[in-house]
A = this chain, B = another copy of it.
């Protein structure tokens, strides 16, 4: 289940994509347009900055801006940064300890298959496919 954090992150990215060209976009504007608490967005945006998807500058005229074109940003990247993991089961998450039952596990192949399906879907879905203009 994708949490609000991941879903809001995508909406922030869409908003920034649709308002790029007009320089930096203040988070206040994004929050108002998207009807999301600015305070909460600060947390989300930090992940996106940390993942080098966007950058921010302070002061008047400041705000956030995409670091790449929307065609070159996948939804998968956004979710990877904001959700802990996109994996459907714990034993396939990054950095989890290897499951002792893995060798004999009868369900692992199915989970792996689904995992690949999921990652392929979101990695192939570009931000540009979600924007209006």
Which residues of A line the B interface, CB within 8 A?
1-2, 7, 10-11, 14, 75, 85, 87-90, 106-107, 110-111, 113-114, 117-118, 121-122, 125, 129-132
The minimal Cβ–Cβ distance linking A131 to chain B, given in whole angstroms, is 7
Q: Is the CB of A7 within 8 A of B132?
A: no
Q: Which residues of B contact A10 (CB under 8 A)?
A: 107
Q: Are B130 and A88 in contact (CB under 8 A)?
A: no
**From B75, B88, B129, B131, contact of A1 by CB (8 A):** B88
Known interface pairs A2-B89, A88-B1. Does A117 touch B110 (Cβ–Cβ under 8 Å)? no
A89–B7 alpha-carbon span in the complex (Å): 8
Q: Which of A75, A88, A90, A131 has the most CB of B within 10 A?
A: A88
- CB <8 Å contact, B107 and A7: yes
The 6 closest A-B pairs by CB, nearest first: A2-B88, A106-B130, A2-B89, A10-B107, A14-B106, A114-B121
12 further interface pairs, Cβ-Cβ under 8 Å (given A75-B110, A106-B131): A1-B88, A1-B90, A2-B89, A2-B111, A7-B89, A10-B107, A14-B106, A14-B107, A106-B132, A107-B130, A110-B129, A114-B121
Residues on B with C-beta less than 8 A from A7 are: 89, 107
